[in-house]
Amino acid sequence: MENPETRPPEESKENPAETAAVNYMRQWKEKVHAGFDHIMGYPDRVINRALDRIPDTTADKIHQKMDKIPTAAPALLSSGLGSAIFYEASRGSLSGTATSSAVTAGILTSFFYARSYFRERQINKDKDKGLNNE
Amino acid sequence: MNDYRAILIELLTAIDYNKDKSAFVEEFIKNLQLQSLNNLLLTLPQDKLDNMKQQLLSSSNDAQNSSKIIRSLFSEAQINSSIENASREAVTSYIESIRDVLSPEQEKKVLAIIEKYNSTA
């Protein structure tokens, strides 16, 4: 199984912003699934990630023991419960309106703070330009 | 009301994202769902969380059952608030991860989108 943590970052020499976006999404996915595993107490998945980094012979022995541990199909659970979150958020509204409003509201709040950051950066750039011209 | 999928696509277009934009948005939504769920689960006392795990193990893993479990634990307002917070944090982190590598042209386009939605909010 490929270990995403040891996978080299995507390369896009022409467009670093695209590379950053792809890497952001991959890291977020890893983090959010690890978070779910941790909350739900799925140590076998956490151990599996660690096993990917140790020699095969040792890993095989540990795997044999781990096969005896019952699992609850965590990927299916996380996906089913995740979808239920969006469904339940819009229980009292039509066609997912409440869910959509919540996601959009989050994005717009984030934009509000991002605007301040970009504006401040622009002011600093202009200041630097002014200093260089003097 | 603004369509969040369209906003996310606009942002990707601004940074000249040439891969599958829809796939990126779908991945964003899946992660957002799970992030919202994680944030909610973290607010539960241990006994309720244990009880929920027990319910999951002893019942079928279908959409109806998942919804029933979620509904028994959280109000609609709690869920919406969790989604909004997760969405805000996700987009903030996303912008932080790209902002230092934007070309001047891309930065201009991203800022234009941010300004446009700030003025319509």
Tell me what percent of the residues of chain B surpass a pLDDT of 90. Answer: 73
A113 touches chain B (CB under 8 A): yes
Tell me what percent of the residues of chain B surpass a pLDDT of 70. Answer: 92
The ipTM assigned to this model is 0.91
Helices (H), chain A: 16-40, 43-51, 56-66, 74-89, 97-133
> CA-CA distance, A76 to A82, in Å (whole number)?
10
- Contact A102/B84, CB-based, under 8 Å? yes
The pair of structure tokens assigned to A91 is 């229980």
Contacts of A20 in chain B (CB under 8 A): 97-98, 101
pLDDT mean over B6-17: 96
Contacts of B76 in chain A (CB under 8 A): 88-89, 91-92, 98
The predicted structure's pLDDT at residue A72: 46
Contacts of B87 (CB under 8 A, 6+ apart): A102, A103, A104, A105, A106, A107, A110, B4, B32
| Residue among A40, A80, A84 minimizing CB distance to B53 | A40
The predicted structure's pLDDT at residue A8: 55
Confidence of residue B96 (pLDDT cuts 50, 70, 90): very high
What is the overall mean pLDDT for chain B? 90
Q: Would you call B2 exposed, middle or buried from its count of C-beta atoms within 10 A (0-12, 13-18, 19+)?
A: middle
- Contact A115/B12, CB-based, under 8 Å? no
- Contact A87/B102, CB-based, under 8 Å? no
What number of other Cβ atoms are within 10 A of residue A94's Cβ?
Answer: 7
Low-confidence residues of chain A, pLDDT below 70? Answer: 1-13, 42-77, 92-96, 134
- Contact B37/A103, CB-based, under 8 Å? no
Q: pTM of the entire structure?
A: 0.79
Distance from CA of B38 to the nearest CA of A (A): 6
Q: How many CB pairs under 8 A join A and B?
A: 201
pLDDT digits (tens, 9 = 90+) for B36-70: 999 999 999 999 998 888 787 676 666 777 888 88
pLDDT digits (tens, 9 = 90+) for A87-100: 777 776 656 678 88
